[in-house]
Amino acid sequence: MEDWDIDHQRSFRHMREAMVADQIAARGIANRDVLRVMREIPRHRFVPPGQSTAAYEDRPLPIGNGQTISQPYIVALMTELLEPTPDDLILDIGTGSGYLAAVVSRLANRIISVERIPHLADCARHRLQCEGYGNIEVVTADGTIGYAPHAPYDGIIISAAYQSIPPLLLEQLRPGGRLVMPVGADDEQRLHKVQKLADGTLQTTCHSPVRFVPLIGRYAWADA
């Protein structure tokens, strides 16, 4: 590694430490594993070239095709609500940059990540492979129908919003599983967490107000 490169890595690490302390821990995220993983994963490698220094700011960033990588705090909050454990098989809908999948992959066994825009799926697949995330499989498809080949899932996490939770996603959740999704109108939503109990009953709790890009597909908004 060149000297300037070592300096760069060091300053990115400092930015990550500050991000976790000021934006995430300070707002009440207490799960130590989530905080550790967010300190470790180089978020600047998941944003477009030229944006790397903005990667640790307290906001979402554009990643092309009209989509965004979520704000760091929201990634941490969704991961905490998902409660991934080391044996879990997780379905991630809306791969985008692949950053959320990367974070969750460090806390679960295997991730199936679905993205509808082929260019974003291809870039994320390539990036995740190069960065060594061997337990993430990126699939180009409409995630509103879930992904039947590997169902049921211990956790399902959706990074795009709709007025209700697509029914097939609830079907593909294992008893004992958790689903996290922004639910609401197109300009503001709330994070919802659904737990499927052992007897199949669904228990829903409502969390922070959020603003996500639309979920587009067969069981959500139509493609404009």
Catalytic residues: 70
How many angstroms separate the most distant Cα atoms in the chain? 58
**Which range binds ligand SAH by CB under 6 A, 7-15, 113-121, 178-186, 200-208?**
113-121
Q: Are strands 61-64 and 67-69 parallel, antiparallel or unpaired?
A: antiparallel
Show the site string, 150-189: x = touches ligand SAH by CB under 6 A, - = not.
---------xx-----------------------------
Token output for 31:
């799960």
Q: Distance from CA of residue 166 to its chain's centroid?
A: 17
How many CB atoms lie under 10 A from the CB of residue 103? 26
What does each C-alpha distance from 67 to 21, 96, 168, 186 come to in angstroms? 27, 7, 24, 14
128 makes contact with ligand SAH (CB under 6 A): no
Task: Give the nearest distance from C-beta 32 to ligand SAH in angstroms.
Answer: 22
Q: Where are the beta strands (DSSP E) in the chain?
A: 61-64, 67-69, 89-93, 110-115, 136-140, 153-158, 173-184, 189-196, 202-210
Task: Give the nearest distance from C-beta 157 to ligand SAH in angstroms.
Answer: 8
Show the site string, 25-64: x = touches ligand SAH by CB under 6 A, - = not.
----------------------------------------
Q: Which of 23, 44, 74, 142 is the binder for ligand SAH (CB under 6 A)?
A: 142
H or E segment at 212?
Answer: none
Q: Which of 72, 84, 96, 177 is the binder for ligand SAH (CB under 6 A)?
A: 96
Task: Give the nearest distance from C-beta 201 to ligand SAH in angstroms.
Answer: 26
Token output for 181:
């999704």
Task: Give the nearest distance from C-beta 216 to ligand SAH in angstroms.
Answer: 4
Residues that bind ligand SAH (CB under 6 A): 67-70, 93-94, 96-97, 99-100, 114-117, 120, 142-144, 159-160, 213, 215-217
